[in-house]
Chain A
């Protein structure tokens, strides 16, 4: 439609934590694997071997991202599948699971399901700044604690969680440790040995890879049951024909992500994010959710008092600025964020909050234009539709 085209040319995208575009290099890397090199890596013939070697190479790239051995990388259908596999694959009836109230629903809903099936689940609430206290995790450990699942970085606030400390605590207690690193990949170093995790999940499309592709680190000896059955693929841990083009794309994205950690991208993003943030804080009644906590470079979550966040998101979108807030419910409407509620914000404050997450291609001009659009929209909303 004409409307869509004209609108999108001028669009500023500040919703990188929702998804990112494919990097052109990723697109190029995937190209041969749709038609020419279409083989099934499980097949013994040449086409199959070609695909198999592509997967092997991809595994090396992802292993480099995780700082682990290639044999410890399992390809999955994305972050949600990885989280589900970790939780369902590790927990048995009667076990104790420690997780947090700020996890993604890909962890929370499996935990709820398991709780209904006789697993004991403890949810650690964050401190007001959005970080989980490692000591609170330690205090929740019981002799039956089998798995601790704490995310590396929160998707809504960007707040980095003390995973290395929790890794040490888990090791002392003899519990297994899973971290959902979906929002960490490409933003911070994912060194599985420094983190001390047994399981770690990432999702390709959060760092300029394809959607529907993810990877998981599984520390050797971790007694994880496969979540998807039906073949001996991925060392029997994930059945199903490997999505070769997606995995190749994921691997290229992993290479780019690793490179971006040392090429000054992070410093540039921090500077842009801080500029955006201080510009937004100049608006009356604006405050940062998660202020003062260590955060990923690209994310800020801002509360605008007396503003309906849902209406603000629509107003911004119509002006060409894509952001998000809360979580999308089944209909596509926005519900107040469970993360902000867990941090102690009341429903009103949670509903007045917007997440800005910058792509690594963000520019100063994007920030300037966004600030103009936002301050005008907030003013208009407050005068016409006070929340």
Chain B
């Protein structure tokens, strides 16, 4: 229970409508006061930030209202090790990470599920918008897109294993967000109108650059000098930049290079610190490679398969053919070239509404 509308409504639906025995758990993942005092890090965390006191208060109030036991589980160490540190390292390596998927894979559906089962629960239930169901024909648990496609969170859930899917409930999968708010109102939850959280939960003010600097300083690590040249697609040096972690593929703003036509970051080379910019046409590619794959609707990828591939959270899945390549990696070839394929993001493959599987773009 995050203290938001979605997970609170899940608790209400299970405890009241379904009459399940429910235990409320909130993950304490990051101490928002930890980096206070560093530039850009506020002294008082806002609500909607990870584990802010206001959100824990809200979650606890809902649990009391529903008459369910409630606990806050400290997973700060795991979160730092499995989410925050990789997040920082990925940026320093010129990639653009997705902490939410890492958190789902390592914290919510791994450690939290283990904790839940060890304290006597059969399953965990979350407020994610996704559908999971068992297909007796294939003998596999499937992950499917939800009723509310605008809230679809399957992109962040591609890492779920069969065992995890079998012990997870997504009660909101068949509801739209307005229906969820209506259910919250029906159950008399005071937070029914609470706004959705949008940004990365542990980053204050959405400024990841200041967060990275503050974190490295706290760790007593030097802020690595990743400054370098900014070059055009044909290799001409246009200017110098302050660090590769300030850029992401497809970025247009803040390049500091005057140009008659819009310029975009098309490549980041972590070794030479060179950032290549080009026009819209340079930004598109037909293929991508992904690693650290997880398969859901199929046991593994035996040969070429037609799918629709989603390469970032707000991307409309595009037709592609995927095929296995060496060392458990996959090559995806799009029917139409795609803009801004970004290393560090994940690619998720869909067959209709079903998630086939996914991996990390490199």
Contact = CB atoms under 8 A, between A and B. Distances in A.
B119 A310 contact: no
Contacts of B72: 331-333
Interface stretch (B110-118, B135-143, B203-211, B327-335): B110-118
Interface string A172-193: 0000000000000000000000
Contacts of B53: 330-331
Contact of A318 (B23, B26, B73, B77): B23
A260 to B, nearest CB: 33
Contacts of A384: 114, 117-118
- Chain A contact surface mostly: helix
A70 interface: no
B69 interface: yes
Given A3-B67, A331-B26, A335-B74, A314 B119 contact: yes
Interface string B293-319: 000000000000000000000000000
A51 B76 CA distance: 50
A347 to B, nearest CB: 7
A164 B91 CA distance: 57
A2 B26 CA distance: 22
A381 interface: yes
Interface string B221-260: 0000000000000000000000000000000000000000
B215 interface: no
A385 B67 contact: no
Interface in B64-116: 64, 67-69, 71-74, 76-77, 111, 114-115
B20 to A, nearest CB: 13
Contacts of B73: 310-311, 314, 333
Contacts of A383: 118
A72 interface: no
A315 B119 contact: yes
A139 interface: no
A308 interface: yes
Nearest to B68: A3
Contacts of B56: 331-332
A330 B50 CA distance: 13
Given A329-B28, A332-B56, A317 B74 contact: no
Interface string B323-341: 0000000000000000000
A194 interface: no
A330 B44 CA distance: 13
A350 to B, nearest CB: 12
B119 A318 contact: yes
B191 interface: no
Contacts of B118: 311, 315, 380-381, 383-385
Contacts of A318: 23, 69, 119-120
Nearest to A3: B67
A384 to B, nearest CB: 4
A178 B213 CA distance: 43
Contacts of A315: 118-120
Nearest to B65: A1
Nearest to B117: A384
Nearest to B74: A333
A4 interface: yes
Given A311-B115, A332-B56, A385-B115, A3 B69 contact: yes
A310 B117 contact: no
B51 interface: yes
Contacts of A330: 33, 53
Given A3-B67, A314-B71, A333 B117 contact: no
A359 B174 CA distance: 50
A334 interface: yes
A329 B117 contact: no
Given A3-B68, A4-B67, A331 B28 contact: yes
Contacts of B68: 3
Contact of A333 (B23, B28, B114, B120): B28
B114 A310 contact: no
Contacts of A381: 118
A2 B67 contact: yes
A334 B28 CA distance: 9
Contacts of B111: 385
A53 to B, nearest CB: 42
Nearest to B121: A318
Interface in B42-57: 51, 53, 56
A331 B69 CA distance: 16
B33 to A, nearest CB: 8
Interface in A290-312: 308, 310-311
B93 to A, nearest CB: 28
A372 B71 CA distance: 23
B77 A347 contact: yes
Contacts of B71: 314, 317, 332
A136 to B, nearest CB: 29
Interface in A322-343: 329-335
B287 to A, nearest CB: 41
Contacts of B28: 329, 331, 333
Interface string A327-368: 001111111000000000001000000000000000000000
B218 to A, nearest CB: 17
A380 B114 CA distance: 11
Contacts of A310: 73-74
A90 to B, nearest CB: 29
Interface string A370-385: 0000000000110111
19 contacts: A1-B64, A2-B67, A311-B73, A314-B71, A314-B73, A314-B115, A318-B120, A329-B31, A330-B33, A331-B28, A331-B51, A331-B72, A332-B56, A333-B74, A347-B77, A380-B118, A384-B117, A385-B115, A385-B118
Interface of B: 23, 26, 28, 31, 33, 51, 53, 56, 60, 64, 67-69, 71-74, 76-77, 111, 114-115, 117-120
Given A3-B67, A383-B118, A385-B111, 15 more contacts: A1-B64, A2-B67, A311-B73, A311-B119, A314-B71, A314-B115, A314-B119, A317-B69, A318-B69, A331-B56, A332-B60, A332-B71, A333-B74, A335-B74, A385-B115
Q: Which 8 A-B pairs have the closest CB atoms?
A: A1-B67, A385-B114, A333-B28, A333-B74, A385-B118, A384-B118, A333-B72, A315-B119
